[in-house]
Amino acid sequence: MAKSRKAIKEKRARDDRGRMESELKKRFGDQGGVRFFRAPGRVDWLGSHTDYNQGLILASTVDREIVVGARLRGDGALNFYSLDFDHEVRASLKNNLPEPGHGWANYPKGVIAELAQSGISLPGIDLVFAGDIPIGANLSSSAAIEAATLEAVIGLLEQPMTRWQKAFTCWRAENRFVGMPCGILDQFTIFNADKDCVMFLDCDRLASELIRFEFKGVKLLVINSGVGRELVRSEYTQRRKECDAAFSALRKAGFKISSLSSITPKQLPKAERALKPLLMKRVRHVVTENARVCEAKEAVRKQDFKRLGKLFDQGYKSSSNDYNNSTPELDLLHKLLSKRKEILGARIAGAGWGGCLVSLASDPDPAALESYLRESYRKITGREVKLFPVETGEAPGELK
């Protein structure tokens, strides 16, 4: 008789609300009630580095989240505390500027700065954060912090905003205040996707479609390599420069395009004659990734999991070979996963250069699979690997 699989219930960030309220009142004063707000992380199914090339993306929210306990105050103070980092930051509305030493707190500070620029007046606020999104796992914990902060501020002020306004406020905060030149993928997905759905996004037209999805006999697995993402900012900026250079070169060569995503697969041979080899690799990835997103959209609609898994693998190879945003550790994990019959496909999550793979698996035993990966991975790399299943998550809002 097969052994039954015991589901281990993980502690969730929302379970820490009592401790969050206690910390808030201990650190910032015990007067006034505390309300709680949340925002999910996100995972991209396909569409690696296509957002800033005005391309196509398939993504969803995940059932891991950032939770914030929030309370207004009247003295213009901005107080922040992270339960996970045990780090307190104090600032003020009059002197709300990015500070390197503030680290994670620059994300909520940026959202507050953007809201102030849009005319939303805040008298001051206390915010205490907790999360169950693994840091550095390419599941958009930073965008979730931004989204939870925004929900808290506008919820306490009873200020209405559309989902689009919310997404672009957080996107501007990350670009302008934090200084990370990211595309719109993370913030748009968090505010516009929802539970039991996969979102198709056209970044050129900013048109999205929610496609119903049920995990029937399959699971979406996140495999954390344990490799930090210190290279993300420098390499990400370099890829954007390379894409801009490729776009300029193609325009000079006579291509009538508005972005790299305007190029069709049939035009790639002509593009190759106009580009240096490195720039051609970047273009080929963007063009073929957009094509994969279109195929994956239909695979999701038809619940064709085998086809979707193959597209995951094709996306991984393109990312690794043409966009060069993999690492030896991610390559090793992909190789180990490819030997398992339950794995339908795996790809690099988020920006890459460390972090995670995301895999589609047919009726897997996550504990057994993690044990298999851990033995070989630790022996070769000296690092620990962590695997966990994710499902689609609920849209941001208040926790009642």
* 134 vs 228: CA distance, rounded Å: 11
Nearest to 178 by CA among 119, 125, 114: 114
Cβ proximity of 37 and 166 under 8 Å: no
Whats the size of the chain, residue-wise?
400
pLDDT > 70: percent of the chain: 96
Check pLDDT > 80 for residue 1. no
Stretch 27-54: mean pLDDT = 96
Q: Taking Cα atoms as reference points, which of 233, 221, 227, 236 lies closest to residue 330? A: 227
* pLDDT surpasses 90 at 379: yes
SS3 256: coil
For residues 262-268, give the mean pLDDT: 97
Nearest to 293 by CA among 387, 202, 204: 202
Q: How confident is the model at residue 4 (pLDDT cuts 50, 70, 90)?
A: very low
Domain limits, the chain: 13-213
Determine the 3-state secondary structure of 4 from DSSP: coil
Cα separation, 312 vs 318, in Å, equals: 10
Distances (CA, A) of 170 to 96, 189, 245, 331, 398: 16, 12, 28, 32, 17
Q: What is the pLDDT of residue 80?
A: 98
Query: 85-131, pLDDT tens digit by residue?
Result: 999 999 999 999 999 999 999 999 999 999 999 999 899 999 999 99
Any bridge partners for residue 52, and if so which?
Answer: none
Is residue 27 over pLDDT 50?
yes
Residues with Cβ within 8 Å of residue 397, at least 6 apart in sequence: 37, 38, 151
Active site residues: 186
User: What pLDDT is attached to residue 271?
Assistant: 98
What is the per-residue pLDDT for 180? 87
Is residue 78 classed as helix, strand or coil in its secondary structure? Answer: strand
Q: How far from 341 is each of 286, 367, 369, CA to CA, in Å? A: 29, 16, 11
pTM over 0.75: yes
Instruction: Tell me the three state secondary structure of residue 356.
Output: strand
Average pLDDT, the chain: 94
Query: What interhelical angle do 163-172 and 141-157 show, nearest 10?
Result: 120
Over residues 325-365, the pLDDT tens digits come to 999 999 999 999 999 999 999 999 988 998 899 999 999 99
Q: What is the DSSP letter of 41?
A: E
How many Cα atoms sit within 13 Å of 234 on the Cβ side? 3
Exposure string of 10-42, with b = 16+ CB inside 10 Å and e = fewer, is eeebeebbeebbebbbeebeeeeebbbbbbbbb
Q: Which of 331, 392, 343 is nearest to 370 (CA)?
A: 343
User: Would the pLDDT of 2 be above 50?
Assistant: no
What are the tens digits of pLDDT across the range 131-168? 999 877 788 999 999 999 999 999 999 999 999 999 99
- Thinking of the domain 13-213, which architecture would CATH place it in? 2-Layer Sandwich (3.30)
